[in-house]
Amino acid sequence: MIYFKDGKFLEEDEVHVSVNDRGYAFGDGVYEVIKIYDGALYTAQEHLERLIESAEKIRMAMPYTIEELGEIIQKLQTENEITMGHIYLQVTRGVAPRVHQFPESIQPVVVGYAVENERPMHYLQQGAAMKSVEDVRWLRCDIKSLNLLGNVMAKQEAFDHGCQEALFVRNGLVREGSSSNVFGIKDGVLYTHPANNFILNGITRRVVLQLAKNLNIPVEEKEFTLPQALEMDEFFYTSTNAEITPAVTIDQQPIGQGVPGPLTRKLQVAFDAQIPMLVASGNVEERESNGPAS
Nearer Cβ to ligand PLP, position 2 or 32?
32
CB of 91 to ligand PLP, least distance (A): 16
Please, where are the H alpha helices in the chain?
22-26, 44-57, 66-80, 121-126, 149-160, 203-214, 226-230, 262-273, 276-281, 283-290
> Any contact of residue 135 with ligand PLP (CB under 6 A)?
no
d(CA 41, CA 277): 9
* Residue placing its CB nearer to ligand PLP in the complex, 165 or 234: 165
Q: In whole angstroms, how close is the CB of 2 to ligand PLP at the nearest point?
A: 23
268 binds ligand PLP (CB under 6 A): no
Q: How far apart are CA 83 and CA 80, in angstroms?
A: 9
Nearest C-alpha neighbor of 131 from the set 249, 220, 276:
249
**204 near ligand PLP, rule: CB under 6 A:** yes
**Of 132 and 180, which has the nearer Cβ to ligand PLP?**
180
Q: Which of 8, 35, 57, 144 is catalytic?
A: 144
51 lies in the binding site for ligand PLP (CB under 6 A): no
52 near ligand PLP, rule: CB under 6 A: no
Nearer to ligand PLP by Cβ, of 2 and 203: the residue is 203
Is 95 or 243 the residue whose CB approaches ligand PLP more closely?
A: 243
Please answer whether residues 271 and 208 qualify as being in contact, where contact means their C-beta atoms are separated by less than 8 angstroms.
Answer: yes
- CB neighbour burial string for 263-289, b if at least 16 within 10 angstroms, e if fewer: bbbebbbbbbeebebbeebebbeebee
Task: Determine which residue in the list 200, 255, 263, 267 makes contact with ligand PLP, applying CB under 6 A.
Answer: 200
Residue type, 260: P
Contacts with ligand PLP, 172-191, as mask; x by CB under 6 A = ----x--xxx----------
Using CB under 6 A as the binding rule, whether residue 202 contacts ligand PLP is answered as yes
Amino acid at 240: T
**Minimum distance, C-beta of residue 69 to ligand PLP, in the bound complex (Å):** 16
**Residues that contact ligand PLP, how many (by CB under 6 A):** 14
Report the DSSP beta bridge partners of residue 173: 170, 225
Name every residue whose Cβ is closer than 8 Å to that of residue 231 and which is 6 or more positions away in sequence.
186
> Is 205 near ligand PLP (CB under 6 A)?
yes
Residue 131 annotated to the active site: no
Q: Using the rule CB under 6 A, is 239 a contact of ligand PLP? A: yes
Question: CB within 8 A of 274, min separation 6: which ones?
Answer: 207, 211
Residues 6 or more apart in contact with residue 225 via CB below 8 angstroms: 172, 173, 174
Residues identified as active-site? 144
**Site residues (vs ligand PLP, CB under 6 A):** 33, 151, 176, 179-181, 200, 202-205, 238-240
